[in-house]
Amino acid sequence: MEAKDQKKHRKKNSGPKPDKKKKRHLQDLQLGDEEDTQKRNPKAFAVQSAVRMARSFHRTQDLKTKKHHVPVVDRTPLEPPPIVVVVMGPPKVGKSTLIRCLIRNFTRQKLTEIRGPVTIVSGKKRRLTIIECGCDINMMIDLAKVADLVLMLIDASFGFEMETFEFLNICQVHGFPKIMGVLTHLDSFKYNKQLKKTKKRLKHRFWTEVYPGAKLFYLSGMVHGEYQNQEIHNLGRFITVMKFRPLTWQTSHPYILADRMEDLTKPEDIRMNIKCDRKLSLYGYLRGAHLKNKSHIHMPGVGDFAVSDISFLPDPCALPEQQKKRCLNEKEKLVYAPLSGVGGVLYDKDAVYVDLGGSHGFQGSDETRPTHELVQSLISTHSTIDAKIASSRVTLFSDSKPLGSEDIDNQWLRIPKEEKQMDLKTGRVRRKAIFGGDEDVSGVGDIEDDEEISEGDRLKNSSSDETEEEEDAEMTGKVYMVDKVVKWPRLEEMEENIERDVLAFADSDDDFERSSEDEGEVEEADESSEEEGSSAEGEKAILEPKSIEKGSKPGLLQSNGLIDSMNLEKTMKKVTLAVSDSGHYRTEEAFASEESSSLSTEKKDTENEEVIRKKFPKLSQVVSGQKLWSENSTDETSDIDLLKEEEDYKEENIYSIETSGALKWKEDLSRKAAEAFLRQQQATPNLQKLIYGTVTEDDEEEEEGDTREELGGLFRVTQPTRECKHKAEALDCSKFQLEVPHDWDLEEVMNSIRDCFVTGKWEEDKDAAKILAEDEELYGDFEDLETGDVHKGKSGLDTQIDDVEKELKEEIEPSAEESVKKKHLDKKRKLKELFDAEYDEGENTYFDDLKGEMQKQTQLNRAEFEDQDDEARVQYEGFRPGMYVRIEIENVPCEFVLNFDPHYPIILGGLGNSEGSLGYVQMRLKKHRWYKKILKSRDPIIFSVGWRRFQTIPLYYIEDHNGRQRLLKYTPQHMHCGATFWGPITPQGTGVLAIQFVSGITPDFRIAATGIVLDLDKSIKIVKKLKLTGFPYKIFKNTSFIKGMFNSALEVAKFEGAVVRTVSGIRGQIKKALRAPEGAFRASFEDKLLMSDIVFMRTWYPVSIPAFYNPVTSLLKPVGEKDTWSGMRTTGQLRLTHHIRLKPNKDSLYKLIVRQKKHFNSLYIPKALQKALPFKSKPKTQAKAGKTPRDRLRPAVVREPHERKILALLDALSTVHGHKLKKAKEQQHLHNKEHFILKQKEQEEKLKRQKDLRKKLFRIQGQKERRNQKSSLKGPEEQMK
């Protein structure tokens, strides 16, 4: 019996092994493989039904084409940016735990507190940026726009929550990223069955929202406060292998999910006005499309900004370089989350910051503020420049010891110049934290030492920095983020280097001071060059290789200032060009690499740089900027002496104190730098020059010419050169004007262009004869069928001989061998192409062609810049996605910095060309079916379109059959309608999301409507119906005089010929104005009017849309209140808050309807008619029943007392009897009921018995049958045996 119960082994019927077996079997039978079955048994494969075949064919084709997507040119970069994984869910669902577990899974690191995005390397080719999304709708909207993958956490013990559905809807509107559900809290289920059921229910609901078959992950339970390792591992695997379909908006716009933010505002400015607009630098991976410098971006929650500068940095979380191994080693498992204080080393353009586990604190800035009264008082008085200088300097030193201005002056004299620069750099906002340590080492005298400190020093510096910072942290008792600390002058350092800090104020000083200083420097350089022109050779050698090594054009900066002094006028143009050309990046690089040669000159140069930068707020406006510059420079040269006097920095003193040695190397440097600069100029193609050509130069010259001739410092003689005028006001003509025509009668001139024609000579590879010959070689013999010529290739013998010869040749010259090889390869390739063309062409569909074309384009795009280095590349194509970039933005509201909350995502969304401008946007909108109210026209509402979230006032309309857009007061309940609002122009086809309020918590569904942008316009066509009514005051036959519709004859004149109608439906036309009552007119109708008629005219009145656009600035709200942004309130809300009740029109109020009874007159039938009527219909005139006469009335019965007694008795008896009967009946009923129940029971028992019986019977029957079957199965086996 046991043997019976065991499962039998089932043979595999499919898979590779059975296939092999089958094949072998068939071969044994000599039947060949499966294809031959068709030959063997053609009938089985014959067409049975043409219709069915057609259908099946259609079906397969349909399925095939369904899979097709419109092919797009693949623009994804080779090294893609990290994938944005948004972990979303209602509160307390386990988001942070999941993130922590995922990070631990990938990097083996535990993060204690996670703030902002965390970037990790998850595999050889993939990085992830994980960010948590709370249930603030602002955050949800922003993150849905940048997400590549959404992990949607669902509390299984609770079920779906509104946030989940809201987020799904947001995602649907803003492109649908990949969504993966994760069920948590599964351990709260006690019964397995219940768990299973819940899982299934949730899964199916999830599928209806996302798509059937969407992945839903189950995290079964927690172990020690974390999810189970295996499950997290599996989830991680899913994430790492996931594929993504590009989303339109994301691929067509550059965007950055910033993972780091720095405030670059000058501390001085902040001190002066804490509410001043800030300058920020934001860091993050660039995603989506290419981002160009100076383009416009939108920061959701903050506003629109122009990128003032952008540069790329080395990847802080780079993918592993070699990919030979299967998995990453521990070193390559990087994690980068600066906002959470993770990432160890931070790279800036010019510095490296090492984090020591300190956390982030922007409030710390207040701590460094001076507390001493003297200092305070110094700060408060900023009347003169001197005072300002003093105060600003003193502010840098805090609680230690107050310094008087005399001290400072004394120190000033002792300060070596080089060190000023150092301090300047430390004083500069966040620029150079490195230089803290070696300042003591490099004194005034040992310049040589100073120079030899090269890049290696940087490490040392940074390490010393570290220690300093540590101490700092200890001292202040506050925890600073590293970069922040760097930004703010450190107390300790202050104490150490009081003297060195003296010049730090220069950075925070205003423009004028700096420029004057700058001029002084120019002068200084001049002097030094005069003194010692030749002694520089020695140092040259030291500096030169360094500058070359760095590759970051260190000379550029120096030259900037120094060339001024040497040949100012000539090179001025070049300098400015260089500045604008290389952008800030290069100059900043120079900063970084030149710390060894940190000289006063350089410092000046950097200042110079800044001056230039200030003067050119936009590099794009170089033309105008150059003018400024040139003016400035010419001023410098002409008024040097004047300036010298103006100098109140006592710089002359410094010069005298400084040794000649210092000047010597400085001098040398200048020339060196100049040379390096010139070299640079020659080496790199100057984009600026290429682009702006000669025009800008001319402009400049013109300006110079202008400034040179100055009379008495007041008037200028404008003598624009003729040529310049020509250029600026040239004829706007696209034809090229020929200066020196050639003499085309000369033979040589003619010959020079002969090859440009098809009749001329061709290049080697294109010459028809050559190609023909090659072809011949390839194919050998062929016969021209038309002419009958037989072409013969080389005979076998010949080729053999050739081969021998070739071999010989190859031995002689190896280069020839290569060429032969190449030729051979070419030949092969050609043959392959021919073959491909022959065999593949037939099956190629249009789709394949299209795809191929796109692929070709992709390759072309990739190949275009492949061989260039990034610096040049970004200038052509912009910064490509995948780069880690640093973006500088100016004029950011201070609230953004003051109320910075790293938990909220900072997104920089690039804007397209026209997306910055405002206009009317039309869209198709539908109220969300889960939103409880309908939306009202002219009620402010918050839209999320493109990157933006903003409040605006929409008008809803519906389109009539004739294309008229008719205003609606409210959106339809369940229908699409149009909506138009005034706001930022966004391309057609962009999804739109509407929310009534972003603040407050409501249990209801928050998404009010969804839609799509249909049309953009700068004008609108929405109209509303307007009925003008009038009353006839004089009626002729068909003509009437109407009054009350218009106010003047002029108005009537405008409406002449318009159609009018009465309420009763008589149509008519306006004819002409009448004189008598103002505004009356004559109108003709199709019938005679009544005086009681009302005449009306239907008109359409265009409505205007209020130009109200209010970006939702939720990120500017204080921390913890970021979800409380409220904009303009609706009238309803206002009424509610101010308790204003709407006074309704009395006429429109509902009243109780009182209907009066209607009285009809009696029907009167004329006598003649009565006569004619049949009897049935004749009115019957019956006499009224009279009073019954007295005698007919029955007399009343008066009983005797005896009789009365009898009657009473009878009454009583009958009552008793009745009661008896009733009782008996009740009893009978009860009895019946019991009997019925008994009967029912009996019946049931009987049925049951019968059922059992039947069951038994069937079982026996079945057993019998089975036995029979078994025996029949066994039969043959037994026979076999």
Partner 1 sequence: MATQTHSLSYAGCNFLRQRLVLSTLSGRPVKIRKIRARDDNPGLRDFEASFIRLLDKITNGSRIEINQTGTTLYYQPGLLYGGSVEHDCSVLRSIGYYLESLLCLAPFMKNPLRIVLRGVTNDQVDPSVDVLRATALPLLKQFGIDGESLELKIVRRGMPPGGGGEVFFSCPVRKFLRPIQLTDPGKIKRIRGMAYSVRVSPQMANRIVDSARSILNKFIPDIYIYTDHVKGINSGKSPGFGLSLVAETTNSTFLSAELASNPQGQGAAVLPEDLGRNCAKLLLEEIYRAWLEESPQSVSRTLVVLSFALDPCWEGEAVSLTRRIQGRLPGTVISPLCV
Minimum distance between the CB of residue 992 and partner 1, rounded to whole angstroms?
A: 18
Q: In degrees to the nearest 10, what's the CA dihedral of 244, 245, 246, 249?
A: -110
Choosing from 807, 836, 1017, 1121, the residue that interacts with partner 1 (CB under 8 A) is 1017
Distances (CA, A) of 750 to 701, 739, 754, 756: 40, 19, 6, 11
Q: Is 684 in the site for partner 1 (CB under 8 A)?
A: no
Q: 936: closest CA among 1127, 1108, 1130, 1106?
A: 1130
Residue closer to partner 1, measured from CB, 752 or 1064 = 752
Q: Is 78 in the site for partner 1 (CB under 8 A)?
A: no
Minimum distance between the CB of residue 991 and partner 1, rounded to whole angstroms?
A: 18
Using CB under 8 A as the binding criterion, the count of chain residues that bind partner 1 stands at: 72
* Cα within 13 Å of Cα(551), Cβ side: 3
Backbone angles phi, psi at 1155, to 5 degrees: -100, 125
Q: 95: closest CA among 166, 168, 151, 177?
A: 151
**Dist. CA 205–CA 343, nearest whole Å:** 40
How many of the other CB atoms lie within 10 Å of CB of 354? 14
Specify the stretch interacting with partner 1 by CB under 8 A; choose among 593-601, 632-640, 749-757, 822-830. Answer: 749-757
Q: Is 691 in the site for partner 1 (CB under 8 A)?
A: yes
Window 1102 to 1131, contacts with partner 1 (CB under 8 A): 1109, 1111
Residue closer to partner 1, measured from CB, 449 or 755 = 755
Structure tokens at 330: 């521990």
Minimum distance between the CB of residue 288 and partner 1, rounded to whole angstroms?
A: 11
User: How many residues can be counted in the chain?
Assistant: 1281
Residue closer to partner 1, measured from CB, 780 or 989 = 989
**Dist. CA 669–CA 676, nearest whole Å:** 10
Minimum distance between the CB of residue 412 and partner 1, rounded to whole angstroms?
A: 42
Structure tokens at 859: 């390759």
Minimum distance between the CB of residue 1019 and partner 1, rounded to whole angstroms?
A: 6
Q: Is 984 in the site for partner 1 (CB under 8 A)?
A: yes
Q: Is 690 in the site for partner 1 (CB under 8 A)?
A: yes
Strand partners for 258: 906
Choosing from 194, 323, 752, 1243, the residue that interacts with partner 1 (CB under 8 A) is 752
b/e burial code for range 490-521 (CB count within 10 A of at least 16 → b): bbbbbeebbbbbbbbbbbbbeeebbbbbbbbb
Residue closer to partner 1, measured from CB, 739 or 1277 = 739
Counting beta carbons within 10 angstroms of the beta carbon of residue 40, is it exposed (0 to 12), middle (13 to 18) or buried (19 or more)?
exposed
What does DSSP assign to residue 936? B
How many of the other CB atoms lie within 10 Å of CB of 728? 12
**Dist. CA 236–CA 87, nearest whole Å:** 13
Helix (H) or strand (E) segment spanning residue 1035: strand 1022-1035
Window 275 to 314, contacts with partner 1 (CB under 8 A): 289-290, 296, 298, 303-304, 306
How many of the other CB atoms lie within 10 Å of CB of 1261? 10
Window 1018 to 1047, contacts with partner 1 (CB under 8 A): 1018-1019
Ramachandran class of 875: left when φ > 0, alpha when ψ lies in -120 to 50, beta otherwise: alpha
b/e burial code for range 391-408 (CB count within 10 A of at least 16 → b): bbbbbbbbeeebbeeeeb
Minimum distance between the CB of residue 890 and partner 1, rounded to whole angstroms?
A: 12
Residue closer to partner 1, measured from CB, 892 or 993 = 892
Window 895 to 934, contacts with partner 1 (CB under 8 A): 912-914, 916-919
Distances (CA, A) of 251 to 245, 307, 630, 737: 10, 20, 43, 44
Residue closer to partner 1, measured from CB, 878 or 882 = 878
Q: Is 864 in the site for partner 1 (CB under 8 A)?
A: yes
* Inter-residue contact 18 to 12 (CB < 8 Å): yes
* Inter-residue contact 942 to 997 (CB < 8 Å): yes
Residue at token pair 């039938």: 1165
Choosing from 31, 53, 73, 850, the residue that interacts with partner 1 (CB under 8 A) is 73
Q: Is 770 in the site for partner 1 (CB under 8 A)?
A: no
Residue closer to partner 1, measured from CB, 621 or 1214 = 621
3-state secondary structure of 582: helix
Q: Is 75 in the site for partner 1 (CB under 8 A)?
A: yes
**Dist. CA 905–CA 261, nearest whole Å:** 11
Choosing from 756, 975, 1163, 1197, the residue that interacts with partner 1 (CB under 8 A) is 756
Minimum distance between the CB of residue 908 and partner 1, rounded to whole angstroms?
A: 14
Window 225 to 254, contacts with partner 1 (CB under 8 A): 252
3-state secondary structure of 99: helix
**Residue 1122 one-letter amino acid:** K
Minimum distance between the CB of residue 290 and partner 1, rounded to whole angstroms?
A: 6
Residue closer to partner 1, measured from CB, 746 or 1053 = 746
Structure tokens at 156: 């299984």
What track of x and - describes contact with partner 1 for positions 604 through 623 (by CB under 8 A)? ----------------xx-x
Minimum distance between the CB of residue 690 and partner 1, rounded to whole angstroms?
A: 6
Q: Is 732 in the site for partner 1 (CB under 8 A)?
A: yes
Q: Is 722 in the site for partner 1 (CB under 8 A)?
A: no
Q: Is 211 in the site for partner 1 (CB under 8 A)?
A: no
Specify the stretch interacting with partner 1 by CB under 8 A; choose among 146-154, 603-611, 727-735, 808-816. Answer: 727-735
Q: Is 861 in the site for partner 1 (CB under 8 A)?
A: yes
Residue closer to partner 1, measured from CB, 168 or 883 = 883
Enumerate residues 6+ apart whose C-beta is below 8 A from 1265.
none
Residue closer to partner 1, measured from CB, 8 or 722 = 722
Minimum distance between the CB of residue 401 and partner 1, rounded to whole angstroms?
A: 46
Enumerate residues 6+ apart whose C-beta is below 8 A from 1089.
1032, 1035, 1040, 1062, 1066, 1095
Counting beta carbons within 10 angstroms of the beta carbon of residue 1006, is it exposed (0 to 12), middle (13 to 18) or buried (19 or more)?
buried
**Dist. CA 880–CA 79, nearest whole Å:** 10
Q: Is 825 in the site for partner 1 (CB under 8 A)?
A: no
Window 876 to 895, contacts with partner 1 (CB under 8 A): 876-878
Residue closer to partner 1, measured from CB, 649 or 865 = 865
Q: At what angle do helices 405-414 and 385-396 cross, to 10 degrees?
A: 80
What does DSSP assign to residue 503? G
* Inter-residue contact 966 to 1025 (CB < 8 Å): yes
Helix (H) or strand (E) segment spanning residue 1265: helix 1201-1280
Minimum distance between the CB of residue 665 and partner 1, rounded to whole angstroms?
A: 40
Q: Is 1143 in the site for partner 1 (CB under 8 A)?
A: no
What track of x and - describes contact with partner 1 for positions 1180 through 1219 (by CB under 8 A)? ----------------------------------------
Choosing from 80, 344, 720, 1044, the residue that interacts with partner 1 (CB under 8 A) is 720
Choosing from 65, 96, 410, 624, the residue that interacts with partner 1 (CB under 8 A) is 624
* Inter-residue contact 87 to 99 (CB < 8 Å): yes
Minimum distance between the CB of residue 99 and partner 1, rounded to whole angstroms?
A: 34
Specify the stretch interacting with partner 1 by CB under 8 A; choose among 178-186, 380-388, 439-447, 688-696. Answer: 688-696
Minimum distance between the CB of residue 830 and partner 1, rounded to whole angstroms?
A: 20
Minimum distance between the CB of residue 146 and partner 1, rounded to whole angstroms?
A: 20
Q: Is 741 in the site for partner 1 (CB under 8 A)?
A: yes
Specify the stretch interacting with partner 1 by CB under 8 A; choose among 52-60, 378-386, 396-404, 723-731. Answer: 723-731
Q: Is 846 in the site for partner 1 (CB under 8 A)?
A: no
Choosing from 374, 385, 746, 753, the residue that interacts with partner 1 (CB under 8 A) is 753
Residue closer to partner 1, measured from CB, 1096 or 1109 = 1109
